[in-house]
């Protein structure tokens, strides 16, 4: 376990560096992350590089036993580059330009920027090649943040046309056929006629455009970011073949939407790291942060991750979030450790006195003197040293996985089906993931390309885009004994975002044992929802959408609609297939209904859960060979008393814990269970 700190030596007088290094050493900090926004400091002019100050900072921290994660500075380009290339700004979908002054606001298809970015990364990589005090490299910073993964400028239009030409092997007729461009007289004679989907008269870029065009543009935009990262990874590895390379990923609420395929972005990185700011999405101070952020990041490479920016104080730009009360910063850090974190790096060391992020409060306040957050950091650092020998090498292993597919997510972005509703692809996965976590059931987030056989249960909120090969992969999984739970609008479209001319759920028809006769929708959040009932007469609610199902003779009906003109018709069914089963749910049930449905799932005997886990308490496990470490995390502002599933040794207090344990407000326990 490693403890890190985001540090910006360029923000402070050099005579202050030693003081900061001494304080970090005392608190138990293992590494600093630096350099990721210092392009001008490293290259004050096009023909002049200066790394002496950075080398001095690395050496000073190393003298205190503190290593460095070195960032490439390409996220924020210097004014001299802006002056040289007046057209390197990104363009919005309405044709307006994103002017200089932010970060990630440059077009990554601009040849002048790409050349300058290559130069600074290569010079930096060469200067610090295999440096003994650099333990990892970070490429850029938060690619795609604040909607910057998509650019609509002429450079991108030219690159998009070339990308489509390569994808369709130069055959424009194949593209026309795939997208159905005969609609609205949009048939193309050549790739040069294709325009980026900018805003139309009354719609926002991909909305209202040909769905095939929209999906391909979103995939192209993602690929642009992936190619940029791959280029810079290659430059770093050229000089540093033995040093790990990472990138700090964003989570949903920070990115605003997922604009980059993170599976592809993570594919060739040595490890995933990400930035964790829980207070931006919490509903109430005592709520536990969403487990999905950790599960998604862990699932990108099926490995433990690093958190490269962990919330310290209240954070914001023009406004700032509530201040985490004493103990919560430590507790949030343990949550990411419990769910697969091997390093926690706080953002930032000291609150900045200038610039946009003056209100991104760090461990030290603006005045630079240690206070209670520093004391909390020191406690956490001491504990990390204590528990690392036990936890190092342990991993998170779950038997349930949720499927998350970026093209499906983008397809719903283009055509969300139902306006102003709770029917959101990501939100449904997050809801299921959180509902399981409330019973202490851990789950992974995986892609269609992953090994399904590693899991007893797969949950797919909607396999909206599908082909025969994918459907056969699901069939093989269920036939061999797996349980698949499918949500509505599955098997509706092919991978070019056009409708499959089959009765839904299309290629899943044989697996689900049902067909969709028709479907209904409920547009407004506060509109009355459809009633549901199970075989025992229990009543529930469904919302957003209602698929009216027709089941085969060998298919069991789990839910029926209890209202509207399709009352009595099936709403959810279970179909045995080979040695496994598929559950198809044609609506969005309420939580109590989902809990009831979960009891219908054949018990594989390997799903662990904690019965009656109190609200605001997490029960999470890490494993090392046959040893289990249980984390009991109390996010409440009150003490809780918990019964232990199995006794053992509590690692923080170094005391025996046999039957029950008291967890103080915003506290935790880590129990090394008896084998």
Of the listed 142, 383, 475, 496, which one is catalytic?
142
Is 309 assigned a catalytic role? yes
The model's pLDDT over 274-293, given as tens digits with 9 standing for 90+, comes to 999 988 777 666 778 889 99
Q: Alpha-carbon distance 353 to 544, whole Å?
A: 47
Q: Which two tokens stand for residue 357?
A: 């992020």
Of the listed 36, 219, 309, 547, which one is catalytic?
309
Cα-Cα-Cα-Cα dihedral sign, residues 219, 444, 289, 338: negative
**In 3D, which of 121, 103, 138 has the Cα closest to residue 247?**
138
- Answer yes or no: are the C-beta atoms of 418 and 544 closer than 8 Å: yes
Residue 419: what pLDDT? 67
- Please report the beta strands in 56-98, taking only residues with DSSP state E, as ranges in sequence order: 67-71
Q: Alpha-carbon distance 481 to 484, whole Å?
A: 10
The model's pLDDT over 519-566, given as tens digits with 9 standing for 90+, comes to 998 865 656 689 999 999 999 999 889 999 999 999 999 999 999 999
Q: Which two tokens stand for residue 250?
A: 């964003």
Q: Is 202 exposed, middle or buried (0-12, 13-18, 19+ CB in 10 A)?
A: exposed
Is 142 assigned a catalytic role? yes
Residue 423: what pLDDT? 65
Q: Which two tokens stand for residue 185?
A: 């007289």
- Residue 631 φ/ψ, nearest 5 degrees: -100, 125
Instruction: For strands 134-138 and 587-589, give the pairing.
Output: unpaired
Q: Alpha-carbon distance 148 to 96, whole Å?
A: 14
**In 3D, which of 301, 284, 288, 405 has the Cα closest to residue 336?**
288
Residue 396: what pLDDT? 97
- Answer yes or no: are the C-beta atoms of 31 and 4 closer than 8 Å: yes
Residue 26: what pLDDT? 98
Residue 254: what pLDDT? 57
List, for the chain, all residue ranges whose pLDDT scores fall below the cut of 70. 201-203, 252-256, 283-285, 419-423, 523-528
Residue 337: what pLDDT? 98
The predicted model scores a pTM of: 0.96
Contacts of 644 (CB under 8 A, 6+ apart): 630, 657, 658, 659, 660, 661, 671
Q: Alpha-carbon distance 152 to 92, whole Å?
A: 6
Residue 427: what pLDDT? 86
Cα-Cα-Cα-Cα dihedral sign, residues 342, 346, 347, 352: negative
């Amino acid at each position: 376990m490693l403890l890190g700190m985001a540090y910006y030596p360029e923000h402070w007088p050099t005579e202050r560096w030693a003081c900061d290094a001494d304080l970090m050493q005392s608190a138990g900090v293992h590494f600093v992350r630096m350099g990721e926004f210092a392009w001008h400091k490293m290259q004050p002019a096009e023909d002049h590089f200066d790394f002496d100050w950075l080398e001095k900072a690395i050496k000073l921290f190393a003298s205190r036993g503190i290593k460095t994660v070195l960032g490439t500075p390409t996220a924020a380009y210097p004014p001299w580059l802006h002056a040289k290339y007046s057209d390197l700004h990104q363009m919005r979908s309405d044709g307006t330009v994103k002017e200089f002054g932010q970060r990630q606001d440059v077009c990554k298809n601009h040849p002048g920027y790409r050349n300058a970015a290559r130069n600074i990364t290569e010079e930096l990589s060469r200067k610090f090649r295999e440096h003994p005090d650099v333990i990892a490299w970070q490429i850029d910073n938060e690619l795609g943040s604040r909607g910057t993964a998509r650019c609509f400028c002429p450079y991108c239009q030219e690159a998009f046309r070339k990308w489509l030409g390569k994808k369709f092997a130069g055959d424009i007729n194949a593209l026309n056929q795939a997208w159905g461009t005969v609609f609205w007289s949009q048939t193309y004679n050549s790739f040069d006629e294709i325009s980026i989907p900018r805003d139309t008269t009354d719609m926002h870029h991909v909305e209202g455009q040909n769905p095939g065009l929209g999906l391909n543009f979103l995939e192209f935009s993602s690929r642009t970011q992936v190619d940029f990262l791959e280029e810079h990874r290659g430059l770093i590895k050229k000089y540093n073949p033995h040093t790990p390379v990472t990138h700090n990923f964003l989570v949903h609420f920070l990115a605003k939407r997922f604009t980059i395929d993170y599976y592809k972005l993570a594919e060739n990185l040595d490890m995933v790291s990400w930035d964790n700011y829980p207070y931006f999405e919490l509903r109430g101070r005592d709520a536990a942060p969403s487990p999905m952020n950790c599960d998604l990041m862990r699932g990108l490479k099926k490995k433990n991750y690093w958190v490269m920016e962990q919330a310290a104080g209240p954070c914001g730009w023009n406004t700032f979030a509530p201040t985490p009360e004493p103990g919560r910063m430590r507790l949030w850090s343990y949550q990411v450790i419990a769910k697969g974190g091997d390093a926690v790096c706080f953002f930032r060391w000291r609150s900045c006195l200038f610039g946009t992020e003056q209100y991104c409060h760090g461990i030290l306040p603006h005045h630079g003197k240690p206070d209670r957050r520093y004391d909390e950091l020191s406690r956490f650092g001491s504990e990390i040293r204590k528990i690392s020998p036990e936890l190092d090498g342990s991993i998170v292993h779950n038997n349930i996985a949720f499927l998350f597919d970026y093209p499906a997510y983008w397809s719903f972005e283009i055509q969300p089906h139902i306006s102003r509703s709770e029917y959101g692809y990501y939100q449904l996965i997050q809801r299921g993931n959180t509902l399981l976590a409330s019973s202490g059931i851990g789950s992974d987030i995986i892609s269609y390309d992953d090994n399904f056989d590693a899991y007893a249960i797969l949950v797919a909120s909607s396999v909206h885009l599908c082909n025969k090969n994918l459907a056969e992969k699901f069939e093989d999984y269920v036939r061999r004994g797996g349980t698949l739970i499918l949500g509505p609008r599955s098997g509706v479209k092919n991978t070019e975002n056009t409708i499959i001319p089959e009765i839904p759920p299309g290629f899943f028809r044989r697996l689900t044992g049902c067909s969709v006769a028709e479907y209904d929708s409920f547009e407004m959040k506060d509109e009355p929802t459809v009633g549901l009932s199970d075989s025992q007469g229990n009543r529930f609610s469904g919302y957003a959408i209602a698929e009216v199902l027709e089941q085969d003779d060998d298919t069991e009906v789990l839910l029926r609609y209890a209202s509207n003109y399709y009352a009595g018709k099936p709403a959810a069914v279970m179909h045995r297939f080979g040695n496994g089963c598929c559950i198809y749910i044609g609506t969005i049930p309420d939580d109590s209904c989902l809990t009831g449905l979960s009891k219908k799932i054949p018990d594989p005997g390997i799903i662990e859960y904690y019965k009656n886990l109190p609200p605001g308490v997490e029960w999470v496990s890490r494993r090392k060979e046959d040893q289990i470490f249980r984390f009991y995390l109390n996010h409440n502002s009150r003490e809780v008393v918990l019964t232990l599933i199995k006794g053992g040794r509590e690692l923080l207090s170094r005391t025996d814990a046999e039957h029950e344990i008291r967890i103080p407000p915003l506290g935790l326990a880590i129990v090394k269970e008896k084998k």
